Amino acid sequence: MASKSLTELIAQADERGLAASGLACLDRCLPLLALDDEGGEPLRPLWAGVAEGEETWDARLAEVRAALDGVDARDDEAVSVRRMLGAAPAAWAAEPLREWADGCSADALRIHRGLDGVDPAADADWLAGCRTSAEGAGADGLGPLVLGELRRQQQILETLERTPGTGALRRVLDLSAEGRRVLTAAASRRARVRD
């Protein structure tokens, strides 16, 4: 069976898949808000909201927003992370969650492109090319951080599509934690170079 593109996976995902996909992108990029806790702990209530679904999603989202309300965004990437959280829909419904997941996917890839040392605004076709092509086609010339993020986004959506229940969410959390470690290391390297 041929692999699906990222945009196809997002288009076909259900509410749980969309919420988990968007949240995983946010989770991987969260350290850019310069939180002391780089383990994604502030998002734990929202992960519980994904597992519980419609019953608690809006309350869990409000809890996370309140917890992160006082955290300052120090640069454009941190502003993007804050925007990802701000755009999360309170409604547990396919279309608003799909729009959010799609936006989070694009923002996360742009952030990783910046960490690869490339202006994310340069070559406007790169984002559409890598998101609409299956099996990495259209990814020529992309840096390792973007390629890793693209692969993680696809793996997360494929896992959620194939696996019902909490087992899939555990795998998603593992993939996201791996991506968070990669992003944190890249951001630290860049900070040392700037200093």
At 121-160, the pLDDT tens digits run 777 788 888 898 865 555 567 889 999 999 999 999 999 9
Q: What tokens does 7 get?
A: 């945009």
Q: Does the structure show a pLDDT above 60 at 42?
A: yes
Please state, in angstroms and rounded to a whole number, the distance separating the CA atoms of residues 72 and 135.
37
Please state, in angstroms and rounded to a whole number, the distance separating the CA atoms of residues 165 and 16.
10
- Say if 137 falls within a structural domain: yes
SS3 content of the chain, % helix, strand, coil (to 5): 75, 0, 25
- Say if 1 falls within a structural domain: no
Structure confidence at residue 34 (pLDDT): 61
**Do residues 154 and 179 touch, judged by C-beta distance below 8 A?**
no
Task: Give the residue, 155 or 75, on which the prediction is more confident.
Answer: 155
Structure confidence at residue 1 (pLDDT): 45
The range of the structural domain enclosing residue 186 comes to: 6-194
Number of domains observed in the structure of the chain? 1
Burial label for 57, CB within 10 Å (0-12, 13-18, 19+), is buried
Neighbouring C-alpha atoms within 13 Å toward the C-beta of 65: 14
- Say if 77 falls within a structural domain: yes
- Say if 62 falls within a structural domain: yes
Mean pLDDT of the region 101-111: 96
- Say if 103 falls within a structural domain: yes
